Amino acid sequence: MKKRLKLDSNGHGMEEALGRLARLMISTGGVDRVFIPQHDETGEAVYATLVADVDALKDPAPLVPYINGNKGREAGLSTPKNGENKTAVFVRPCEARAIIELSKLMQAHRESMLLITSDCPGTLTLEDYKRLREEHPDHREEVAAFYAPFHGGERLEGHEVRECCTFCESLAHPMSDIRLLLVGAPEGTVVVEATSEAGERVLSKLEMEEAAEVDEAVREKFTEGQKSRHAEMEAHWDEVVHSVEDFMHLVQHCRRCYNCRAECPICYCRECVFQTATFEVTPDAFGRRADQYGVVKMPPDTLVFHLTRMNHMVTSCVSCGQCTEACPQKIPVGKIFSAVGRRVQDVFDYRAGADTADELPHAVFREDELEPR
Amino acid sequence: MEATVEGKTPTEDGTPTTSQGAGPFEPKIIAFVCNWCTYAAADLAGTSRIQYPPNVKIVRLMCSGAIDPIYVLRAITGGFDGVLIGGCHPGDCHYQTGNYKARRRVTILKEILKSVGYDEERVWLRWISASEGGAFAATVSEMVEALKSHGPNVLTTNWNK
């Protein structure tokens, strides 16, 4: 039986309750630091923060229905290698998946983290989030309104979450140390579940009420809905993409600004191949291409850009959809990479971000496999 | 290198041709081959005077594991109709494991190409040892015939790429 504690908002909001949990973790010595989203002083913008002083954890926003970028990368960058300084990392499932992929790529240190993921109903685009805030100027009310239907496995009507969130397959990540269960929990409460021994050790230091069961049927129903939407997304890809021209049509407005790559938590290379001489087209080469085809497009190589980026990271694509958010041309990059990623990952029976024990398809091989080609 | 990758091959009078030139379609193939096996096989095919179609341009690398998939992508968007990658038989890699890594990379690349609707059968990975001159010639002949039935590469003429 997994250890489950009940975290009651007591009328102060679930985020404040989670803030209290985070402060307790530091003050009881369970962790040294906490990585958690907080509001800035205006109460409008949200940033990931690394907190060492409990008094500096003033305005926690771990459930705000908007994320400004996948914080998996920042969590990796701000958590030192030695496992002695334990950091409690409050993230969403997509960010947890990114952390797991990044730790395999040696860009994050999972062992230094106490990974805490929450059930996530999906997040809004910045535009939509601002609209929600206009309806609920008080942040606590906004979170309460957004999450109220979620306890019953539904989403708030009239506020569409980002496209990639509609087919995200996991609630709180099963490979976390602690999971914050909202779906199937009574409204206004969070069920805090220890999922690993490390999580259990930290929770055992806290004096909190034991939780009643969460409604597993509601959780199951929500997850099934997400999975069927993922299958629909894959089927839709088959309907839309028959030839490479169809694919080129999908990415046709690309102007190679690299925003998708910059926002991708998996694209960690300091020197990206697209900004090296490999992809530099000299005036002479432009001239030769124009001579060959009669006309040359600028910027060039947008197709090769997407195919190469796929080739580099699609086996690790965690479908967070931040690339879609970043695209100024409204290309559904996240959906494209999710669809292709699933096909490629299937070849190796691999799921990006599922488990640190799974080996990266690009990094290993078997002597006896993939034959005949 | 740029001229080759762009798919331009000067004819005897110096004018460039593409696979869309006059006459029946002749596929252009670029072969990235391992120094220790397939390159030696191509050499052996030559010194043994085994006939095979002149459609292939050979680029020698030190190992099939040294082939960055970018080269393949640049070739198929830059004028070639097919890409042949030649490596040592499994277990025979001069560097122990390069061909196993190449196999994974090519598998991933081909799965991506297939997923985006591209004809992934234009990319071939074949194991041809240094003693298999005949196999090299046969592979090239076979590939030329196969590509003739596939027709010209759509990405050669499409400039919006």
Q: What local confidence, expressed as pLDDT, does residue A210 receive?
A: 87
Query: Taking 50 as the threshold, does the pLDDT of residue A245 lie above it?
Result: yes
Average pLDDT over residues A229-245: 96
The minimal CB distance from A365 to the residues B97, B109, B161 is found for B97
Task: Tell me if B70 and A278 make a contact (CB, 8 A cut-off).
Answer: yes
Q: DSSP E strands: which ranges in chain B?
A: 9-10, 16-17, 29-34, 56-61, 82-87, 123-127
Quick one: tokens of A225?
Answer: 């809905």
Domain assignment of residue A359, yes or no: no
Residue A48: per-residue pLDDT: 95
* Boundaries of domain holding B152: 27-156
The better pLDDT of the pair A372, A54 is held by A54
With 80 as the cut, is the pLDDT of residue A82 above it? Answer: no
d(CA A162, CA A160): 7
Give the number of A-B residue pairs with CB atoms closer than 8 Å: 116
Q: Tell me: do A37 and A133 sit in the same domain.
A: yes
Average pLDDT of the segment spanning B16-30: 74
Hunting for tokens 């602690």 — which residue is that?
A178
Q: Read off the pLDDT of residues A341-372 as tens digits, 9 standing for 90 and up.
A: 999 999 999 999 999 999 999 999 999 999 98
Q: Examine the pLDDT at B3 and tell me if it is beyond 90.
A: no
Tell whether B2 is covered by a domain: no
A13, amino acid identity: G
CA-wise closest residue to A192 among A201, A181, A202, A184: A181
- Shared domain for A196 and A259, answered yes or no, is no
Pair A71, A196 in one domain: yes
Q: Looking at the structure, do residues A32 and A175 belong to the same domain, yes or no? A: yes
Counting the structural domains of chain B, the total is 1
In this complex, the residue of B6, B105, B159 whose CB is nearest that of residue A295 is: B159
Question: d(Cα A31, Cα A28) in Å, to the nearest integer?
Answer: 8
Residue A297 lies in a domain: yes
Region B112-140 average pLDDT: 98
Residues A177 and A280 in one domain: no
Both A268 and A195 in one domain: the answer is no
Mean pLDDT of A325-349: 97
DSSP A201-222: HHHHTS--PBPPPP-HHHHHHH
Whether A200 is covered by a domain: the verdict is: yes
pLDDT band at B23 (very low <50, low <70, confident <90, very high): confident
pLDDT (mean) for B63-85: 95
Residues 6+ apart with CB under 8 A from A196: A176, A177, A178
pLDDT of the residue at B14: 46
Three-state DSSP state, A48: strand
Q: How confident is the model at residue A188 (pLDDT cuts 50, 70, 90)?
A: confident
Decide if A333 contacts A323 (C-beta within 8 A).
yes
**pLDDT value for B10:** 45
Are A112 and A214 within one domain? yes
CA A1 – CA A148 distance, rounded (Å): 28
| DSSP assignment letter at B19 | T
**pLDDT given for residue A8 in this prediction:** 85
Strands in chain A per DSSP E: 4-8, 33-39, 46-51, 87-91, 113-118, 178-181, 189-194
Please answer yes or no on whether B6 and A373 come within 8 Å at the CB atom: no
Domain boundary among A170, A194, A227: A227
> pLDDT tens-digit profile of B87-100?
999 999 999 999 99
User: Which pLDDT belongs to residue B22?
Assistant: 66
How far, in Å, CA of A166 to CA of A145, rounded?
19
Query: Which burial class, exposed, middle or buried, applies to A333 when counting CB atoms under 10 A from its CB (0-12, 13-18, 19+)?
Result: buried
The count of domains in chain A is 2
- Closest CB to A244: pick one of B70, B100, B155: B155
Tell if the CB–CB gap between A307 and B116 is shorter than 8 Å: yes
Do A215 and A307 lie in one domain? The reply is no
Beta bridge partners of A210: A5
- Its sign, for the CA torsion A135, A137, A140, A141, is negative
Is B17 a domain residue?
no
Q: Give me the sheet containing B82-87, strands edge to edge.
A: B56-61, B29-34, B82-87, B123-127
Radius of gyration of chain B (CA): 15
Taking an 8 Å cut-off on Cβ atoms, the answer to whether B107 and A311 are in contact is: no
Residue B46 lies in a domain: yes
Question: Same domain for A210 and A280?
Answer: no
- A156 shares its domain with A250: no
CB A196 within 8 A of CB A177: yes
Report helix, strand or coil for A56: helix
- Amino acid letter for position B150: H
Distance from CA of B90 to the nearest CA of A (A): 7
Residues A176 and A281 both lie in one domain: no
Per-range mean pLDDT, top range of A76-85, A203-212, B101-110:
B101-110
| Residues spanned by the domain of A343 | 241-347
What's residue A276's pLDDT?
A: 92
CA distance A110 to A97: 11
Q: Smallest Cα–Cα separation from A264: which of A139, A107, A131? A: A107
Q: Is residue A111 part of a domain?
A: yes
Domain contains A159: yes
Lowest average pLDDT, out of A1-15, A187-201, A253-267, B59-73, goes to A1-15
Of the pLDDT bands very low, low, confident and very high (cuts 50, 70, 90), residue B8 is: very low
Closest CA–CA distance from residue A123 to any residue of chain B (Å): 28
Shared domain for A136 and A270, answered yes or no, is no
Residue B161 lies inside a defined structural domain of this protein: no
Tell whether A270 is covered by a domain.
Answer: yes
Q: How far apart are CA A128 and CA A125, in angstroms?
A: 5
Cis omega (within 30 of 0) on the bond before A299?
yes
pLDDT for residue B21: 54
Rounded CA-CA distance A233/A235 in Å is 5
Provide the CATH number for the domain around residue B121.
3.40.50
Query: Pick from B57, B59, B64, B58: which is nearest to B86 by CA?
Result: B64
Q: What is the DSSP string of B143-161?
A: HHHHHHHH-S-HHHH----
